[in-house]
Amino acid sequence: MEIKRAAVIGAGVMGSGIAAHIANAGVPVLLLDIVPKDAAPDKRSAIAEGALARLLKTDPAPFMHKRNARLVSTGNIEDDLDKLADCDWIVEAVLEDPKVKRDLYGKIDKHRKKGSVVSSNTSTLPLAVLTEGMSDAFTADFLVTHFFNPPRYMRLLEIVAGSKTRSEAVGIIRHFCDHRLGKGVVDAKDTPGFIANRLGVFWIECAVVEALDGGLTVEEADAIMGRPMGIPKTGVFGLLDLVGLDLSRHVAREMAASLPGTDAYLAIKRDVPLFEKLIADGYTGRKGKGGFYRLNREGGGREKEAIDLQTGEFAPALRPRLESIGAAGKDLRRLLEFPDKTGQYGWRVLSQVLCYAASLIPEIADDVAAADEAMRLGYAWKEGPFQIADRIGVDWLVARLEEEGRDVPPLLARAAEAGGFYRTEGGQLQFLTVDGEYADLKRREGVLLLEDIKRASEPVKRNASASLWDIGDGILCLEFHSKMNSLDQESLKMVEDAVKIVPKAHKGLVIYNEGSNFSVGANIGLALFAANLALWPMIEDLVATGQRVYKALKYAPFPVVGAPSGMALGGACEILMHCDAIQAHAETYTGLVEVGVGVVPGWGGCKEMVTRWATATRAPKGPMPPVAKAFESIGTAKVAKSAMEAQDMMILREGDRITMNRDRLLADAKARAIELSTDYAPPQEAVLHLPGATGRAAIEMAVRDFELKGMLTPHDRVVVDELKKVLTGGDTDIVDEVGEDALLKLERDAFMKLIRHPGTLARVEHMLDTGKPLRN
């Protein structure tokens, strides 16, 4: 069976978010909720309708494109349950009350079609409790599908199947959620909190209690619990604000009520009066007046404040410069060994979390690899608990626990004897089983990861910023690996080398990496350094090299497929636009943003954007429409917030494709390169028809309007004046046919003029100092 239509019952934050993400997969979805008390006849579906309206206003957006909202229809559970007969998958996301859920299941069972799958999004209730009293036929089609919030962005999906659940039902949902929703599907046992919340709630409780007992400030605790641990910079108190203090307390209570009396969580759980006071006063986190942090807007300002955990009073938030973090650098063990209160806070929390995790395998998951994946995908940790244990040294961890007279879980002791939870054997990653033996870590069918290629082979070529890898079947992979994958001379050199190497023994190239971002674009720090020393020839050479290399890539005698994920900005967007095809991860955020730092795209971005609009079958024809579209995108430094939005901007063209699951991106891109390699011929060089002075006049009208409205700063005006010259063919009255080289020269001249401008240098310096654009 294929999922062709779905339903979600429960239009709260999670339910509506799940519905939106099913719509992102192109599947029609019915969103139902209760009828409001005393509802007018035409307002009986007001709750679901209101949820859909909120989805379109929510930031970050639950929909990958606003048009996806058309796939969501609304209704209520009194009038519209008969529509469930058309649905292949029905997701329940109502109150965490077993009786409420079971009553609803009885109604669903009367209307659903035979063989349809029903699942619950419960975060704490065991499947066995949910199915009490249900028919065998219903139980066979029932499972738990635990999404994480927000459903579009958090990749984890925990699946819990019962002893009576049909394997076919599990397989259908697993395949759909993996391939169509992009989820990392992890099998969990039918235990309270499943995997990620069982470990995550313990970590949060432990971090809060130890901060209170250790006399740490909110800022100090988050500084330790954040980046040094490989955890998002929100740390623990910032995470509680993000999730909501009320929701986190509810989950903690549910967890405590469902755990056996001997569980270690119950030993550390504590009622914290400050929590209850904050919630009672409306400080429920970011969705309320604030939480442990708040924004003080008195006097028209926006000052971030943090609460004092001892007094409950707010004061300006500080950025603590902790001696422990400074001394440790990137060495987590050194941080845990540091003798001050912050280092010992880190040790007390992490040691308890690692021991708790080790004590729960195989109770909550079959193996350590599943637990690690759940924490990476569900809580956005860079490493799961067992990977962290390996990083600090399992033997050191066990020795210190024994030195302190603490119990060592048997699995932790076995890992210390074996040499760690993970090892590489013959190029294959292996994990330690509960039996004390190592087993191969097997990827899901169809998954190809560069990290596995790198573990088992040497690069074809490598420098400080990029590498070439053979990924099989005649395809090479170009990987950027500089800081934030920014592009510099070494990156360009590897692109140039790839153009020479591929034709010798290979048939295609994929540009891809497994960093958080594909690339943030050109290294602006390098540009600022050169500009401050007036090394203008060095900058001009970098621009000219980028143009030459990107053009060589575009017209290479083999297909090139760009495979971005995360940010692909500026020069990174430009390299994608020079590829034969783009196979983009759905969460690709891309655009030509150079105007934001005071320059124009200099590596062919202007040329390629105009060319794309001029040659698109669905775009208006004539000299002016392509220029207007390019100016709209480049002039506003517009960024697509999904691959679907990038289609609207013509960064992705007709024929370019989108992969929903990040782990499947490389395999899809490789397959696309192989497909294009059959009878491949490079594209013909474009000749553009540009509007000249007429086009500049038309653009000027729009620019002037922005200026009159106060939406254009003085330096913005300098930049857009140069941009409109480039896009319309130069500072001449009449322009007709313009070749690519001529347009590249216009780009290069405009870039060099602007990079020398004091306004641009101020913007670049401000961006490097603060990470934020300067409006000058």
d(CA 741, CA 737): 12
Average of per-residue pLDDT across 138-163: 97
Tokens 């920014």 identify what position?
A: 486
Are 184 and 373 spatial neighbours (Cβ–Cβ below 8 Å)? yes
Cα dist from 187 to 92, 145, 196, 383, whole Å: 19, 10, 11, 18
CA geometry: angle 769, 771, 776, nearest 5 deg: 80
What is the four-CA torsion angle of 518, 522, 525, 527, rounded to 10 degrees?
170
Confidence label for 1 from pLDDT (cuts 50, 70 and 90): confident
Average of per-residue pLDDT across 439-454: 97
d(CA 448, CA 471): 9
Tokens of 703: 């620019």
CA geometry: angle 174, 662, 445, nearest 5 deg: 50
Q: What is the pLDDT of residue 582?
A: 98
Confidence label for 651 from pLDDT (cuts 50, 70 and 90): very high
Average of per-residue pLDDT across 137-152: 97
d(CA 58, CA 56): 6
Are 89 and 6 spatial neighbours (Cβ–Cβ below 8 Å)? yes
> How far is it between the farthest Cα atoms of the chain?
85
Q: How big is the chain, counted in residues?
A: 776
574-625: per-residue pLDDT in tens? 999 999 999 999 999 999 999 999 999 999 999 999 999 999 988 788 889 9
Helix (H) or strand (E) holding 720: helix 714-728
What contacts 8, CB < 8 A, 6 or more positions away?
15, 16, 18, 19, 22, 29, 30, 31, 32, 90, 91, 93
Confidence label for 665 from pLDDT (cuts 50, 70 and 90): very high
d(CA 303, CA 296): 5
> pTM value?
0.95
Are 135 and 109 spatial neighbours (Cβ–Cβ below 8 Å)? yes
Average of per-residue pLDDT across 734-762: 91
Cα dist from 440 to 236, 372, 449, whole Å: 34, 15, 15
Q: Determine whether 619 is exposed, middle or buried from the number of CB atoms within 10 Å of its CB (0-12, 13-18, 19+).
A: middle
Of 508, 452, 517, 449, the residue nearest 487 (C-alpha): 517
676-689: per-residue pLDDT in tens? 999 999 999 988 88
What count of other Cβ atoms lies within 10 Å of the Cβ of residue 710?
7
- Please give the share of the chain, as a percent, with pLDDT higher than 90: 88
Which residues does residue 569 pair with via DSSP β-bridges, in sequence order? 591
Residue 769's Cα: distance from chain center in Å? 25
What contacts 57, CB < 8 A, 6 or more positions away?
none
Average of per-residue pLDDT across 35-64: 96
d(CA 198, CA 385): 13
Q: Determine whether 620 is exposed, middle or buried from the number of CB atoms within 10 Å of its CB (0-12, 13-18, 19+).
A: exposed
Average pLDDT over the chain, rounded to an integer: 95
What contacts 204, CB < 8 A, 6 or more positions away?
236, 239, 240, 248, 252
Cα dist from 514 to 354, 479, 481, 482, 518, whole Å: 27, 8, 9, 12, 8
| 508-511 vs 560-562, strand pairing mode | parallel
Average of per-residue pLDDT across 392-417: 97
- For 87, list phi and psi in degrees, rounded to 5: -100, 140
Are 530 and 550 spatial neighbours (Cβ–Cβ below 8 Å)? no
Of 669, 725, 220, the residue nearest 476 (C-alpha): 669
d(CA 435, CA 422): 14
Helix (H) or strand (E) holding 567: strand 566-569
Q: Is 764 helix (H, G, I), strand (E, B) or coil?
A: helix
DSSP symbol at 181: T
Which residues does residue 470 pair with via DSSP β-bridges, in sequence order? 476
- For 466, list phi and psi in degrees, rounded to 5: -160, 160
213-258: per-residue pLDDT in tens? 999 999 999 999 999 999 999 999 999 999 899 989 888 998 999 8
737-768 residues labelled b (16+ CB within 10 A) or e (exposed): ebebebbbebbbbbbbebbebebbbebbbbbe
Angle between helical axes of 385-392 and 394-403 (0-180°, round to 10): 80
Q: What is the pLDDT of residue 734?
A: 65
What is the four-CA torsion angle of 174, 193, 384, 400, rounded to 10 degrees?
-150
Q: What is the pLDDT of residue 527?
A: 83
d(CA 243, CA 252): 13
d(CA 408, CA 421): 15
51-86: per-residue pLDDT in tens? 999 999 999 999 999 999 999 999 999 999 999 999
d(CA 475, CA 773): 39
